[in-house]
Amino acid sequence: YHFYYQYKMGAAINEIQRLEDLPVTDGLPVLSLIAAVLGVGVVADCIHQHELNAIDAAE
């Protein structure tokens, strides 16, 4: 389930970026999934947080 979550979170962040007309981080869902598979899911979480902070700062 964690792999699915990481992929879907990356996809959701991309969707928010598109809706807000912000630059989209291409490959974020796949990058998140790869990080989770390699056992460094916390890195994906940090990347997600960085992207969410960037969205918040743009508003």
Instruction: Please identify which residue in the block is written with the tokens 């928010």.
Output: 16
The range of the structural domain enclosing residue 17 comes to 2-58
- pLDDT at 59 > cutoff 80: no
Average per-residue pLDDT for the chain = 95
**Could you give the 3-state DSSP secondary structure of residue 49?**
helix
Judge contact between 32 and 5, C-beta under 8 A: no
pLDDT for position 5: 96
Tell me the mean pLDDT in the region 34-59: 94
Confidence at 1, pLDDT banded by 50, 70, 90? confident
Count: domains in the chain: 1
Confidence at 55, pLDDT banded by 50, 70, 90? very high
